[in-house]
Structure 1
Amino acid sequence: MQGLLFVLPYLPFLLVFGILPMLYALYLAVTSDTGAFVGIENFTRTIRDYRFVPAFEHVLLYTTVWLGSLIVLVVGLALLLHGRAGKVTSAFRFLFYIPGALAGASAVLVWLFMLDPSVSPGSSLLRLSGSHLFVESIAPGRLPFVFAMIAFWTGAGGWIVVMYGALNTIPPELEEAARIDGAGPVTVALRLKLPLIRKWIAYMVILSFATGTQLFIEPQLVNEASLGLVPDTWSSNQLAYQLAFRYGDFNGAAAVSIDLIVIGLIAALLIVRRTGLFRTEE
């Protein structure tokens, strides 16, 4: 009962801004512009679009790099901070969280400045990597990694704080017992703490994957900054946007959005089943 009261204020917003738009998108995806039922025609038509597969490939590569960096670096930093708890840890948690205060568009603008060798304070590093011009920094082959770096910079700090909070729920008696048995810091971190925050890691991966599939602001701004060097259909969300607002194909755009929803739901289901996210401890 207490849990229901806790989520009750959120339910109207979930219904109005989440479930109803999803149902409307599903309706558009299976109908024509005249409202006639067409089944999977919109899905097959958008899949045959020459921009569809590259857009989803870009998002897949970007999401893979981003999730990999989140799992390794966020969890690793949280374990390191928790192992050295104290005033220094508090200062570092605050510093890690600062980039998250920037909105997505602001973060992209900061990184556009950082990626321009002519004005970037890290120009020497850019040149070492082979980027002597801005257009070389945002070359198509580098874009998934650039966007993953931007997403990590803006989102990792908040997740470090979340993981650190999860680590604080571990009873100190368990860690003390492990140390008495001769376990060192690395063993405690990997054998004791890491398994106990597995559900929190799964939660981070699910939300981050859902966010990653919605990539839009970053490539859109880079497209404008590069004067069209980066295509305006680089990501699947951009493709849906162009279909809807450039070509007036709202049914095709809805089909692309349903594809993204289905991919996100399947990924979430697999993660939940493999990690037992909602399994209650006996």
Structure 2
Amino acid sequence: MTAPAVGPLLGRRRGRRRSPDRSQARIGYIFSSGYAVLLLAFGLFPSLYAIYLAFTKDGGFVGVDNFVRVFNDYRFWPAVQHVAVYIAFWLASLMIFVVLLALVVHAIRIRWASASVRFLYYIPGALAGASSVMLWLFLLDPTVSPVSGVLHALGFETFVQVVSIDNLPIVFTLIAFWAGAGGWIVIMYGALNNISDDVMEAARIDGAGPIASAWYIQIPLMRKWISYMAVMSLAAGTQLFVEPRVLSQASKGVVPQDYSLNQLAYLFAFRQNDFNGSAAISLLLLVVAVALSALFVFRGGLFERD
């Protein structure tokens, strides 16, 4: 009587066990391939082409001449200042109010009330950027706004006064916060849920109140998520375009068409037919955004393991 061939049988069984893993890997590659193609077509290749345009003119290499021409344009530095002030207000409002509102929502122990508040916060994010601006055109006009009393109390009598150049960073921050903060509040709420109940219970036993627990435990443990919010919001903030463009049309030129760097790049490309200068502005925006994002990533420990 011969012994059964155990080795070949085990090999076949192992092969059968591995086959589902391989098929799942193939499916994963198929699904991710669509994103990879779109990333190459609309992300990497356009970026490389913009770099080529930024250092050439009529097909010839010109070094930094396009950047010098952009720097010497009388509209460039005011646009830089406008975007920088807006980003400062925008990021500060997110860091303070999003974290604060997430902590407040997380402190609500009634489940339906907490879910309802999160849903209300998230609703504005479902509107497109242009739709949000159109809604705010109505809110910012003291003659028809439901908050006209507040606007009159602040000394604004007309829409033109509200959207003056000095007020625009605050106006754009309010629009962006109303449209985008809700989603970040939900994300921060999820980050708070990941904090161990044992940690919070230990803090309460040690006598820490809600404010001390938030400052010394919850916010430090949310540091990675706050850094992630800062990076993504910084990338969106540097692309300021829809809001000033719509307000420019609504205010009949009170808001300039070259208010932001994205608007200026648009004017270079489609009004002056200077795609090289437009690419130079775009590349500058990319470099600054990447540098600031790297600062948030490393200072916030975004890729550190717990």
TM range (shorter): over 0.9
Corresponding residue for 1:84? Answer: 108
Corresponding residue for 2:194? Answer: 169
Structure 2 vs 1, CA of residues 3 and 125 (structure 1 numbering), >3 Å: closer, same or farther?
Answer: farther
TM alignment of 1:109-148, pairs within 5 A: 109-148=134-173
Corresponding residue for 1:178? Answer: 203
Partner Cα separation in structure 1 for residue 146 and residue 25 of structure 2: 50
Q: 2:245 aligns with which of 220, 236, 239?
A: 220
Partner Cα separation in structure 2 for residue 201 and residue 278 of structure 1: 13
Q: 2:73 aligns with which of 39, 49, 70?
A: 49
Q: Does 1:11 align with 2:6?
A: no
Give 1:12 deviation, angstroms.
2.4
Corresponding residue for 2:284? Answer: 259
Give 1:11 deviation, angstroms.
2.5
Corresponding residue for 2:216? Answer: 191
Partner Cα separation in structure 2 for residue 270 and residue 80 of structure 1: 29
Q: Per the alignment, in what secondary structure is the counterpart of residue 89 of structure 1?
A: helix
Partner Cα separation in structure 2 for residue 271 and residue 134 of structure 1: 37
Q: Per the alignment, in what secondary structure is the counterpart of residue 183 of structure 1?
A: coil
Q: Taking every aligned residue pair, what percent have the same amino acid on both sides?
A: 52
TM alignment of 1:91-102, pairs within 5 A: 91-102=116-127
Partner Cα separation in structure 1 for residue 186 and residue 39 of structure 2: 26
Partner Cα separation in structure 2 for residue 119 and residue 17 of structure 1: 42
Give 1:84 deviation, angstroms.
1.8
TM alignment of 1:27-42, pairs within 5 A: 27-32=52-57, 34-42=58-66
TM alignment of 1:222-241, pairs within 5 A: 222-241=247-266
Q: 1:105 aligns with which of 109, 117, 130?
A: 130
Give 1:13 deviation, angstroms.
2.1
Partner Cα separation in structure 2 for residue 209 and residue 243 of structure 1: 23
Asked if 1 retains the 8 angstrom alpha-carbon contact of 2:223 and 2:301, the reply is no
Q: Deviations over 1:117-146 (max 9, x none)?
A: 111111111111111011001011001110
Q: Does 1:210 align with 2:202?
A: no
Corresponding residue for 2:293? Answer: 268
- List runs of 5+ in structure 1 lacking aligned partners: none
Give 1:3 deviation, angstroms.
11
In the alignment, residue 172 of structure 1 is paired with which amino acid?
D
Partner Cα separation in structure 1 for residue 263 and residue 86 of structure 2: 14
- Find the structure with the greater CA-based Rg: 2
Single out whichever of 146-155 and 15-24 deviates more from structure 2. Answer: 15-24
Give 1:65 deviation, angstroms.
0.4
Count residues with an aligned counterpart. 280
Structure 2 vs 1, CA of residues 163 and 3 (structure 1 numbering), >3 Å: closer, same or farther?
Answer: farther
Structure 2 vs 1, CA of residues 187 and 19 (structure 1 numbering), >3 Å: closer, same or farther?
Answer: same
Corresponding residue for 2:90? Answer: 66
Partner Cα separation in structure 2 for residue 194 and residue 13 of structure 1: 36
Partner Cα separation in structure 2 for residue 8 and residue 174 of structure 1: 38
TM-score (norm 1): 0.96
Give 1:246 deviation, angstroms.
0.6
RMSD over equivalenced CA pairs, Å? 1.7
Q: Deviations over 1:201-233 (max 9, x none)?
A: 000000001100000000000011111111100
